[in-house]
Amino acid sequence: MTTIIDHTRIEHDVTQYYHYAMFSHEREDNEPLFEKVIHVMVYNLEDSPTNNKLKMFCKIVQDAGLDWAWSDTCCINREDDFVLQEALVAMFRWYQGSALTLVLLRGVRSPSRRGDLTRSIWNTRVRTFQEYHASKVVRFYNEDWTLYRDLDIPNHKESPEILSEMEEATGISTRALRALQPGLDNIREKLRLVSRRETALVEDEAYSLLGIFSVSLPVIYGDGDQALGRLLAQILTSSGDASILAWTGKSGSFNSCLPGRIHVFSQLPTSHIPPSMTSTETETITATLRASFLNLALVMELYDRLKELPAPSFLGKRMKLSCLTFRLGPLSVSRTGSVQVFRAQTTALGTIEISTAEDLSKLDSLILVHPWIDFLLDGQPVAKKISASPLSLTDRNTAGLRLVARLRQPFGALLLTSMGQDVVGYRRVTSESLVTVQVQEDTPLDHLIDCIRTLDVL
């Protein structure tokens, strides 16, 4: 003790003493659990494959000069719901703050070779992406606890061999991967990166992503695909990022506009959202529109009405969706093998074709919707809103003409149907393939203004 407090020394000593290591591995049956290890020293556990795995992890951590080690299977009291939820939300930060993360590649035998990491079981799991991405220092081990590919260096995340394999596994460059941070930016990219990975439980598709999106969610095992629905609904409400709605496949049970499984995000939403135009293309089209006989007052009314629309959001399981709506005329149907193809006329989109297993002829009030409002206004990916000073009259007119140009680009429409007389609202109809449509150039602007609506979608 001293009368003079040496903050620098205290910070150094405490930081040095509390350096800790994290474990990233494929969970197996009969892993040692929290309620067991609090009563028994790890090294006194009876011999078994899973107990020996934990012992070896602790030994390597100790040999590395660290006094603390953390493994999810035995350091989380899963019987305490509050502790479990706190751990799932904080997991990214815990791995991010570690001095070292050890990765055990079960099934990868010595001598390991290039490609074994890419094909490993560890690399197929949703949660391990977060564990690797968050950790600053990582060392990979084969299943016999020898170093992967004999890479005896302090940090495998600095190894060109490892970085090359991880780029191949994720389909994203090391620089882009490092740029991804926890939070509600780059939402679709994060969803795409984990979309081909697996979980033992359906609910963990959502719970394994809480840290990387920095959101909290009640952890309810037995909730099935409702967990993913609750996560996506919260992300959409917090971010306004409508690109979450850009997918094809089967709807989940939470809301018809949200999927039941994460694999639908394996592709970026470029086929749904109108493609970006180059500045030259935009200027050329805008100049052509300016020279045409467009009613500029209607252009600005359309622009202002769209600017006033609220971002998509959820209240419970009900979504408020701002969009342009296009009602379908009478349907005709044909078959190509086992696939039904429905055709219909619309005033603004012309003839459209929809492939779906659902019998559309039995549904009421079918509409196609254009929900990519942010893109139409800003010409940027959804949720990348530009904050700027109020536009001058000339700039507003130019922005309105650009909006008209973007409206005439092809886009992936969502197919909705009325819930019926007893329930107010719409539901999304599952389609087997993307419904790509385009607003025809001769569509009157006042008709498009009448198409602007905010729908309740269940």
Q: Please choose, from the candidates 142, 123, 134, 129, the residue with its C-alpha nearest in 3D space to the C-alpha of residue 98.
A: 134
Where on the phi/psi map is residue 365: left (φ > 0), alpha (ψ -120 to 50), or beta? left
Apex 195 CA angle, 192 and 196, nearest 5: 120
Query: Which tens digit of pLDDT belongs to each residue from 28-84?
Result: 989 999 999 998 999 999 999 999 999 999 999 999 999 999 999 999 998 898 898
| Average pLDDT of the chain, as a whole number | 90
Q: Please choose, from the candidates 295, 149, 314, the residue with its C-alpha nearest in 3D space to the C-alpha of residue 215.
A: 314
Q: Residue 335 corresponds to which tokens in the numbers above? A: 């078959």
Q: H or E stretch including 134?
A: helix 126-134
> Using alpha carbons only, how large is the chain's radius of gyration in Å?
27
Give the number of other CB atoms < 10 A from CB of residue 45.
17
Query: Which tens digit of pLDDT belongs to each residue from 88-103?
Result: 889 999 999 999 999 9
Each residue of 422-458: b (16+ CB within 10 Å) or e?
A: eeeebbbbebeebbebbbeeebebeebeebbeebebb
Helices and strands (H, E) in the chain, number of each type: 18, 14
332 DSSP β-pair partners: 343
Query: Which tens digit of pLDDT belongs to each residue from 396-417?
Result: 888 888 899 889 899 999 999 9
Distance (Å, whole) CA 285 – CA 276: 13
Distance (Å, whole) CA 406 – CA 395: 16
Query: Looking at per-residue confidence, does 382 or 227 come out higher?
Result: 227
| Confidence check: pLDDT of 364 > 50 | yes
Mean pLDDT of 239-257: 93
pLDDT score of 386: 46
